[in-house]
Structure 1
Amino acid sequence: MVWHPALGFWIAGRRSRATLIELRKRKQGQGRQPWVGISASALPYKRTPPSWLKISSTDVEDNICKFAKKGLTPSQIGVILRDSHGIAQVKSVTGNKILRILKAHGLAPEIPEDLYHLIKKAVSIRKHLERNRKDKDSKFRLILVESRIHRLARYYKKTKKLPPVWKYASFEACGIKHSPV
């Protein structure tokens, strides 16, 4: 048995590189491990806006506010600015990130975006379970998603991005009237 420090577990005998990569992929489903999410895009080294970009920072801020009023999330706004307007990094043009600009104008979402998407996923799983009551796998996945919601909410309360009295209630998220009986 040999301890493999990059993978974080013991390996019996000699293994090829391909086998080690497969073992590493298998471990990626686990939550708080250091090797989860190894792919990422590299940020540009230059922090100044490109010389060919002829749009001012006030125009970019106006565009961000306009898109937010249409109901787009900060990540959707970033994708539109990147694809349609050629602005790769809003921070290099304006000096602030999209969410900070939205907070300054009072247009920031009430709950953080990743928490919102997890709640949306839990609602869709719950609707699926109303139609398919015997779907055991979906019940299990719902438990996992809701535990992720609670963990993320605890973090956001600690960092004061959510009010301390905020609580996830599945019946309120679904829009189902909760009977006190």
Structure 2
Amino acid sequence: MTQSRPFSRLEVLSSSTAIMGRMHAPGKGLSQSALPYRRSVPTWLKLASDDVKEQIFKLAKKGLTPSQIGVILRDSHGVAQVRFVTGNKILRILKTKGLAPDLPEDLYHLIKKAVAVRKHLERNRKDKDAKFRLILTESRIHRLARYYKTRRVVAPNWKYESSTASALVA
């Protein structure tokens, strides 16, 4: 008589995908979006690949980030996944035209967050929790910058400095 061992959700998911926990919080971060199984273009979508690319270029020239472009294409034009229609991701399409942002989007938003917390700390000097969260945010910035330097996305001599950070996100 063998004893059956109940398995947890973590074990089931770990067989198919690797789960990355949250960096500065106890959560496991199991929530994720589910992409459709079929990777073909839906039959009801009337936009061609070139039309989608033109929309991407037009929105990028307005100053929108790749994520914002994707949301607008999804909500206004019915393009669920740009990659299924064009064969490339939004950022790759922007890079071919030279319209990609200088800083990667995740790094940009972390810097923007750090600048906002620093501004808050100037007004509220006794806010110890905000100071602690600023340290965590800047740790994430340094870690992400180190990763992007190895991938040659940012210049090897690029360095985050809190004094010049507000100029980066302005």
Q: TM-score normalized by structure 2?
A: 0.83
**What is the CA–CA distance in structure 1 between the aligned matches of 2:53 and 2:125, rounded to whole Å?**
47
**What is the CA–CA distance in structure 2 between the aligned matches of 1:112 and 1:174, rounded to whole Å?**
16
* Unmatched segments (≥5 aa) in structure 1: 9-27, 176-181
**What is the CA–CA distance in structure 2 between the aligned matches of 1:104 and 1:56, rounded to whole Å?**
18
Equivalent position of 2:71 in the other structure: 79
**Paired amino acid for 2:49:** S
8 Å contact kept, 1:69–1:107: yes
**What is the CA–CA distance in structure 2 between the aligned matches of 1:110 and 1:81, rounded to whole Å?**
22
Larger relative contact order (Cα-Cα within 8 Å, sequence gap ≥ 6)? 2
Distance 1:7 1:130, change over 3 A: farther
Question: Alignment length, in residue pairs?
Answer: 152
| RMSD across aligned positions (CA) | 2.2
From 157, 160, 165, the equivalent of 1:168 is 160
Identity of aligned pairs, percent?
A: 68
**Paired amino acid for 1:169:** E
- State the 1:159 CA deviation: 1.1
**What is the CA–CA distance in structure 2 between the aligned matches of 1:174 and 1:74, rounded to whole Å?**
21
8 Å contact kept, 2:24–2:136: no
Distance 1:32 1:7, change over 3 A: farther
- Hey, which bits of structure 1, 4+ residues long, moved more than 3 A? 5-8, 28-33
Distance 1:57 1:152, change over 3 A: same
